[in-house]
């Protein structure tokens, strides 16, 4: 089963921010990620960053934005 949470971004160094992963998520020594507006992370580092980026760009991004626009339209109709 998945996990949902809202977390603060913590300033780290001069330009970076840190997102702390919940303790219940299994983590490896390194994580891999692909990001644009959304972030897809493998906290165990078992999936290559290239594969994550390809999946994000070809499957998640194209499906997410039309879905999000529909949800926003539904909320406006409820008003």
22-59 pLDDT, tens digit each:
999 999 999 999 999 999 999 999 999 999 999 999 99
- When pLDDT is cut at 50, 70 and 90, the band that residue 79 belongs to is confident
Residue 47 backbone class (left: φ over 0; alpha: ψ -120 to 50; beta: rest):
beta
Contact status, residue 29 vs residue 14, Cβ threshold 8 Å = no
Backbone angles phi, psi at 18, to 5 degrees: -115, 135
* 1: pLDDT strictly greater than 90: no
Distance of CA 23 to the CA centre of its chain: 17
* 71: pLDDT strictly greater than 90: yes
- pLDDT value at position 73? 94
């Amino acid at each position: 089963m998945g996990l949902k949470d809202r977390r603060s971004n913590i300033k780290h160094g001069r330009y970076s921010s840190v997102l702390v992963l919940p303790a219940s998520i299994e983590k490896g020594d390194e994580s891999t990620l692909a990001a644009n507006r959304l972030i897809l992370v493998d906290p165990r580092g078992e999936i290559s960053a290239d594969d994550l980026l390809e999946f994000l760009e070809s499957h998640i991004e194209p499906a997410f934005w039309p879905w999000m626009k529909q949800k926003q339209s539904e909320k406006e109709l409820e008003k």
